[in-house]
Each structure stands twice: as C-alpha cells, then as structure tokens.
Amino acid sequence: MGWKPLKGETAVITGGSGGIGSATALELARAGADVVIGYKEGRDRAEETAKRCRDAGADARVVRMDMSDRASVEQAIRSVCSLRSPSILVHAAGISRPGLVQDVTDREYDEMMDVHVRSAFHLVQAVLPGMLRVKRGRIILVTSIWGETGGSGEVLYSAAKGAQIGMVKALGKELAPSGITVNAVSPGAISTPMLDGQLPFEDQRALAEEIPAGRLGRPDEVASLIRYLCLPEASYITGQILRVNGGWYT
C-alpha cells in the first residue's frame, strides 16, 4: 500500500460535489486521511466521490451543510467529532454569478457572501476547539485569481474571494502560536463544472491562449498543492496565498 503521510488525520472538505473539492477529497484519501465530504446540492456526485475515497482505503462519508446556517455547520461538525475531531479543513465550496455590478441584487449579494465568507467563519469556528485542544491543524481556503486581481464582470465574486484572502492572512497570524496553519490556494482558470457552466468551449479555448502555460488547469493540480499544505513538512507555511494559474498572474 505504501506510506500514507496523513494516516490518522480527519479532513472536512466542503464543495465535495464540485471539481476541486472532489479531487481534493480523493487526494487526501489516497494520502491516508479519513474524509468528510460536505455538500449542499449534488448528493449523487458527493456520494460518488466518497465511494472513490473508500476504494482508496479511507473512511469516507458525506454530510449536507447549509453553510449560511451556523446550526447546520455546527451539527455537521459534531457528527464528525463523534468519531474524531477534524484536523484538516478545506473550504472548496463556491459559486459564481457573472454580471455587471449594477445588476447585482441583494439576494445574489447575500448568497455570494454566505457561500464564501460567512461559511468560512462558521466552519473555522466549528473546527477550532478541537484543533486548539491538540495545538495542531490545517485550514485551507480555495480562493481565486479574481480575489487577487479583480475580474471585470465578476465584481461580487472578486469581493467575496478578496475577503477570504484577508481572512487567511489575519487568521494565519492569530493561530500560528497554536500550531495551526491557515493558507489559501488561488486557482486561475481550472477545468471544472463551474467553469463549464460559465464559458462555452470556444471561449475556454480562447482563454487558454491567454495563459502562458497554454491550457486550463486540472482540479488534481490544485488538489496536489492542498495535499502538500496538509503535510507535517508544511508546518512553517501559514498566512500565504499560493497560486495555481499556469503563469496567468504572477
């Protein structure tokens, strides 16, 4: 079977029915971690990911989370803690609503901030007691290139992702004395169902031509970096925004 560096760890991954979340769950499972796959919609896809994780030798379960609702998040984390407190949190859930800023409704604003910002706070507050007790943990947010550069037609999404980046930088400082690292992975254009829902194939091909690497990224390339950040040898990396974008923004 080989050495599994995350054996004995329990990882909570949100967005488990999406491209990056699913790839991350499988990557951590292959490294030996037991995984809890959070989803709000797309239970069938989350269950399929869990099956692949079990085939890799991990204990895997799925749990529905409404991350705008603190009680829902806390209940989901309590169900995990009945076995073992999570030592890894990966917040990969995300939505995008492209459009002009003047057309953004209050409902769209609330939904965007709930999924990316409010949920991050709820999740961190839910897992922190267990991590602080043992003075060890990994918290990783999947943000976006638009949180760093801003995207025309993506003002609301850019604002939400920028808020995540600020949270990571501050929380990394706050939790470093407790042995808990906090980092963000900032993907560029990654071939996921979310991107497929936004851009037709011809537009994706044109976008790839703008990227120095000449192609879109793959979810497993983001997941591999997340896996590294969970390892013991990454314990001195915290408060960082690590880019996976093929040289699109440096």
CB 166 within 8 A of CB 223: no
User: Among the options 157, 228, 236, 249, which is catalytic?
Assistant: 157
Beta strands (DSSP E) in 20-164 are 34-39, 60-64, 88-91, 137-142
User: DSSP secondary-structure letter at 56?
Assistant: T
CA distance 51 to 45: 10
Known active-site residue 157: yes
Q: Tokens representing 39?
A: 């989803």
CA distance 192 to 55: 23
Residue 62 β-bridge partners: 37
Which residues form the catalytic set?
Answer: 157
